[in-house]
Amino acid sequence: MQVTVETTQGLERRMRVEIPEEKVRGEIDKRLGDLARSVRIPGFRPGKAPVKVVARRYGRQVRDEVVGGLVQESLVDALGQEQLRPAAAPRIAPLETAAGVSYTATFDVLPEIVLPQFESIEIVRPVAEVVDEDVARMLETMRAQRRTWGTVDRAAVSTDRAVIDLAGFVDGEMVDEAGATELPVELDAGRMVDGFEDALVGVRAGEDRTLELIFPQNYPEHLAGKPVTFNVTVHRVEEPELPELNDAFAESFGVSEGGLDALRGEVRANMERELADGLRRTLKQHVMEALLAEVGIELPESMVRDETARAMQRRQEELARSGIDPQRVELSPDMFDEPVRRRIALDLLVAEIVKEHRIELDHARVRARVEMIASTYQDPARILDWYYSDRGRLSGIESLVFEDQVVDWILERAQVVDEPASFDRILNPGQTDAATA
């Protein structure tokens, strides 16, 4: 077997493999001999047909099978001989079989990664605790979840909601999906087309309004970015009515003993668990960002293409599950490029750290993670069995645990600097950033 390798561009390699005809013929003769001892051919007793007769009938089929097997076998041998690590399955060119077997395999190789000196990396570790003000804000959020609405005879303010009929028109034609009757619209919820809710501030019951707005770009193609006219009729204006913070309020959340103090204790305990998880996620993010900043990686474009296609497919499936026709939502590979590249780079880095420093999967941590997930269900034992009965399901948990182990390994060596934080900053970073902007 002769092997030559050419670097085409970046991480792409083109490998030519040539298998001599003697080897091909030897494998074919062996296969035909085996077949002759078992095949039934009219005019001959079973297993007694001459090899030449068997070859006339089955020769083409046998050669195709032999060539296919030799290609797969030689590909593995050639990659090992040249010490090449494909990033994805090689693309095999059409075979040439006139004299022996020769083919070209084109593929990206995994990049060579030089790991940094972890002792020189600085990582910011957020530190926070749940304080009384956090609990008070959470109770107010819970009050809002239990709010009712009462009709008022006045102009609407931004905290009210208006119950309306509306009809939407694009280019003078009514749009069915832009119409509704008795639709409650909260004027500070941000759920409608930009400008819609603001335009209803100040309306009164019985009033009609015409709104000239524009559909967002992320709407279905036949509406995206188009001007729309909404004819609105206001039936009534309603204001929110919040329940009192008392024992009855606590009971509405399933706290039958201990009243409001018991509810406050449960809320704090839940918030502390959420904060611990959030701190861990944020710290992990800081570790990964520091790692990416230290190591530049040339990514195999075949991996990027394949993972981008999978990301787009997952997004289409999510849309379908939400009742949205994926064909009416414009998706492009560019939308997924940055997160896909980041994910691939991190996967390659984690794999290299695991390999070079011989980090072994902690199966006890995997079990603990699965048990933690199972504990949130009514029948934990069934969920536990569900994970452990399928390697595909369990492998996802194992990958997460492996990442956690690598994070812990890095933190043991890096320079870790504590930074004060808050519950909202950790659990609601987007809202906090918007409030301070």
Span 207-260, pLDDT tens digits: 999 999 999 988 877 888 999 999 999 999 999 999 999 999 999 999 989 999
Print burial letters for 142-155: b (CB count within 10 Å at least 16), e (below 16).
beeeeeebeeeeee
Q: Name the strand (E) or helix (H) holding 27.
A: helix 21-36
Give every CB contact of residue 50 below 8 A, 6+ residues apart in sequence: 36, 44
Amino acid 142: pLDDT: 94
pLDDT at 434 over 50: no
Q: Give yes or no for a contact between 196 and 219, defined as CB atoms under 8 angstroms apart.
A: no
Average pLDDT, the chain: 90
Q: Which helix (H) or strand (E) holds 393?
A: helix 391-411
Q: What is the dihedral of CA 148, 151, 152, 153, to 10 degrees?
A: 170
What is d(CA 296, CA 393) in angstroms, rounded to the nearest whole number?
A: 32
Backbone angles phi, psi at 174, to 5 degrees: -70, 135
CB 132 within 8 A of CB 264: no
pLDDT in tens, 84-125: 999 988 999 876 666 778 899 999 999 999 999 999 999 999
Residue 63 in this model has a pLDDT that exceeds 90: no
Instruction: Supply angle C-alpha 227, 230, 236, rounded to 5.
Output: 155
227-241 and 208-214: which strand pairing? Answer: antiparallel
The structural domains of the chain, ordered by start, are 2-108 (3.30.70.1050), 148-241 (3.10.50.40), 256-436 (1.10.3120.10)
The amino acid sitting at 415 is: Q
Share of the chain above pLDDT 90, in %: 70
Q: For residue 47, what pLDDT is reported?
A: 67
Tell me how far CA of residue 360 lies from CA of 263, 288, 353, 365, 404, in angstroms: 43, 19, 11, 12, 12
| 249, 143 contact by CB (below 8 A) | yes
Cα torsion at 230, 321, 371, 348 (round to 10°)? Answer: -100
pLDDT score of 222: 83
CA dihedral 239, 245, 246, 247 (to 10 degrees): 100
Q: What pTM did the predictor assign?
A: 0.74
Residues 122-172 have pLDDT tens digits of 999 999 999 999 999 999 999 999 999 999 999 999 999 999 999 999 999
pLDDT of the residue at 30: 84
Which ranges of 183-222 does DSSP label H, i.e. alpha helix?
196-199
Distance from C-alpha of 54 to C-alpha of 60, rounded to nearest angstrom: 11
CB atoms within 10 A of CB 78: 21
Q: Could you give the CA distance from residue 184 to residue 196 in angstroms, rounded to a whole number?
A: 13
